[in-house]
Amino acid sequence: QSQEVSQARIDYHAALLALQEHGTRMVCTGKMHTDRICRFDYLCYCSEAEEFVFFHSNSSVMLPNLGPRRFQPALLDLSSVEDHNTQYFNFLELPAAALKFMPKPVFVPDVTLILNRFNPDNLMHVFHDDLLPAFYTMKQYSDLDDEARLVFMEGWGEGPHFDLYRLLSSKQPLLKEQLRNFGKLMCFTKSYVGLSKMTTWYQYGFVQPQGPKANILVSGNEIRQFAKAMMERMNITMVEETEKDAGSVEEEKEKEKKDEYIVVFSRSSTRLILNEAELIMALAQEFQMRVVTVSLEEQSFPSIIQIISRASMLVSMHGAQLVTSLFLPRGAAVVELFPFAVNPEQYTPYKTLASLPGMDLQYVSWRNTMEENTVTHPDRPWEQGGITHLEKDEQERILASKDVPRHLCCRNPEWLFRIYQDTLVDIPSFLEVLKEGLRTRPNLKKTKLANTVHPGRVREPQCHTSVQATNEAKLTVSWQIPWNLKYLKVREVKYEVWIQEQGENTYMPYILPQQNYTFSENIKPFTTYLVWVRCIFNKNLLGPFADVLMCRT
């Protein structure tokens, strides 16, 4: 199957000549290895050496040309996980003249995206580290289209979710082990190496305890567009958000109410909910809705997504399967359960996802606080939370602890012990948390598109001053509305004015509803004030400041 890369579409001799004459050409974006993506003409791969090769000739290009800094620590990250030392990319160099003594290269005609999958066995990692970054890297470079070839260099087999990776393009992705089938030397006519990190929202705790990334750059809008594209490619029919034409509004509401249901995402092998049936009954009774269970062990992924994409609520133990909440409709709730001694505040990949601006999901966590309701597994292998391999003292300390202290990824035995517990969910406390957490329903109408438009700069800012007496002065500031306001319906428009006496390092902030104001308090004669003005829509959409005004009284 992998041999389908055809040689027919390119003129072999022309390609070989081009490689020999021009060598490899590389142009990258990004200042650091952690934000770099590189585009190559004629990047080659030697399967014998398991190395990429850059061929130098008189017309080869290498930008950035880092010299030996290319190894400090690497040219770029091959996965979307920041600066992970098992995920670095680099190439070896050879003069193009060496080609004469090397095996005949096989050329790959497809535009290729070369990357590492980070952990293709785990669904959260599949979506967060690979699928979303690859999807948006392909959007960034228009020749990485539906015909693009993906090459996964991490060295793993297909894994359980390979069908999801297949959705990224119409061509079969290639694994590292398959590259040898192309011969000893293969050359990618056009390729991109590396993944965009723009869409990731979580860091897994390699250098500091896990948590949301410091500077999240993605909003619910991009996540939802990705979800929509994936669903289309899985042939899942979407519920249109604006399909309310037929029938009266009341009828529609009634019908929708009847169709509403809750999904319990169940795990069948580890981290079990021991009284799932009881939990389901309680949910059905409390919300007067159908409750459906899904599990990765029992259903195909597309059929699970079909169900989740129309659900009102998704309930699940903490775990990778909760990444499927990115397919929930707007307004739905995510309910995440945590085993005993695990603090929900410290493990927030799904809370962070649900809370991205524009995701429009509610999020509630419940934590088992009753030790008698937990079932531990001390005798299991260490990677499933077993602790019998540890010193007796350490085992006793872990058994006595009621809260896993903050820790780094990935092998902390106390963390693994606690996170792989099974839980008997205490129904009264669960329903209590749920009712409390879902008391206010989000108003989706209010959080619609117009609310994400920021004000422009206020225009024609001016100041006028006058001196009243030796200790009394006035400062009048006026401005025009931002240019984009006249095209918008905004609920509330306000202006913020900052006044700073020149040379001081503090300022006085004012919020004003109108477009001019005369300040007299705290205004001194014969003094220079710096004045900044900006517009604010609906309390929290801040615009930029206009150029600073210098106002001398």
Question: How is the beta sheet containing 362-367 ordered, strand by strand?
Answer: 290-294, 261-265, 313-317, 333-338, 362-367
14: amino acid identity, one letter: A
Min dist. Cβ of residue 90 to ligand UDP (A): 30
Count of positions on this chain that bind ligand UDP (CB under 6 A): 12
Among 40-48, 151-159, 218-226, 316-324, the segment contacting ligand UDP (CB under 6 A): 316-324
412 contributes a contact to ligand UDP by CB under 6 A: no
Min dist. Cβ of residue 223 to ligand UDP (A): 19
Choose between 220 and 319: whose C-beta lies nearer to ligand UDP: 319
320 contributes a contact to ligand UDP by CB under 6 A: yes
Cβ burial of 85 (10 Å; 0-12, 13-18, 19+) is exposed
Among 3, 215, 269, 514, binds ligand UDP (CB under 6 A): 269
Min dist. Cβ of residue 163 to ligand UDP (A): 14
- Going by C-beta distance under 8 Å and a sequence separation of 6 or more, which residues neighbour residue 429? 366, 369
CA torsion 398-399-405-406 (nearest 10°) is 70
Min dist. Cβ of residue 237 to ligand UDP (A): 25
- Going by C-beta distance under 8 Å and a sequence separation of 6 or more, which residues neighbour residue 141? 39, 192
321 contributes a contact to ligand UDP by CB under 6 A: yes
Min dist. Cβ of residue 122 to ligand UDP (A): 5
**CA–CA separation, 30 and 33 (whole Å):** 7
Choose between 273 and 533: whose C-beta lies nearer to ligand UDP: 273
Both tokens of residue 77? 């990250």
Min dist. Cβ of residue 450 to ligand UDP (A): 38
Among 33, 128, 267, 534, binds ligand UDP (CB under 6 A): 267
Choose between 126 and 168: whose C-beta lies nearer to ligand UDP: 126
**CA–CA separation, 45 and 180 (whole Å):** 10
Among 88-96, 240-248, 261-269, 534-542, the segment contacting ligand UDP (CB under 6 A): 261-269
Min dist. Cβ of residue 52 to ligand UDP (A): 30
Choose between 272 and 497: whose C-beta lies nearer to ligand UDP: 272
Cross-strand partners of 336: 316, 365
Choose between 267 and 367: whose C-beta lies nearer to ligand UDP: 267
**Shortest CA distance to 129 belongs to which of 196, 80, 194?**
80
Choose between 196 and 316: whose C-beta lies nearer to ligand UDP: 316
Pairing of strands 493-501, 508-512: antiparallel
The DSSP string of 185-206 is: EEEEEEEEES---TT--EE-SS
Min dist. Cβ of residue 325 to ligand UDP (A): 13
Among 270, 275, 299, 462, binds ligand UDP (CB under 6 A): 270
Among 268, 443, 505, 540, binds ligand UDP (CB under 6 A): 268
Min dist. Cβ of residue 128 to ligand UDP (A): 11
Among 65-73, 267-275, 298-306, 451-459, the segment contacting ligand UDP (CB under 6 A): 267-275
**Shortest CA distance to 145 belongs to which of 131, 156, 135?**
135
Among 192-200, 249-257, 264-272, 390-398, the segment contacting ligand UDP (CB under 6 A): 264-272
Both tokens of residue 140? 């960034």
319 contributes a contact to ligand UDP by CB under 6 A: yes
**Shortest CA distance to 338 belongs to which of 399, 421, 268?**
421
Choose between 339 and 543: whose C-beta lies nearer to ligand UDP: 339
26 contributes a contact to ligand UDP by CB under 6 A: no
- How is the chain split among helix, strand and coil, in percent rounded to 5? 30, 25, 45
Choose between 289 and 320: whose C-beta lies nearer to ligand UDP: 320
Choose between 320 and 549: whose C-beta lies nearer to ligand UDP: 320
Detail the DSSP E strand segments found in 98-205: 106-115, 149-152, 174-175, 185-193, 202-203
Choose between 124 and 280: whose C-beta lies nearer to ligand UDP: 124
215 contributes a contact to ligand UDP by CB under 6 A: no
Choose between 296 and 356: whose C-beta lies nearer to ligand UDP: 296
The contact mask relative to ligand UDP for 272-311 (x = CB under 6 A, - = no) is ------------------------xx--------------
Give the number of other Cβ atoms within 10 Å of residue 116's Cβ. Answer: 26
The contact mask relative to ligand UDP for 95-124 (x = CB under 6 A, - = no) is ---------------------------xxx
Give the number of other Cβ atoms within 10 Å of residue 360's Cβ. Answer: 18
Choose between 319 and 413: whose C-beta lies nearer to ligand UDP: 319
- Is the CB of residue 167 less than 8 Å from the CB of residue 234? yes
Q: Measured on CA atoms in the order 141, 145, 151, 152, is the torsion positive or negative?
A: positive
Q: For the chain, how long is the longest CA-to-CA vector?
A: 92
- Going by C-beta distance under 8 Å and a sequence separation of 6 or more, which residues neighbour residue 487? none
Q: Measured on CA atoms in the order 31, 37, 38, 44, is the torsion positive or negative?
A: positive
Q: Where does this chain bind ligand UDP (CB under 6 A)?
A: 122-124, 267-270, 296-297, 319-321
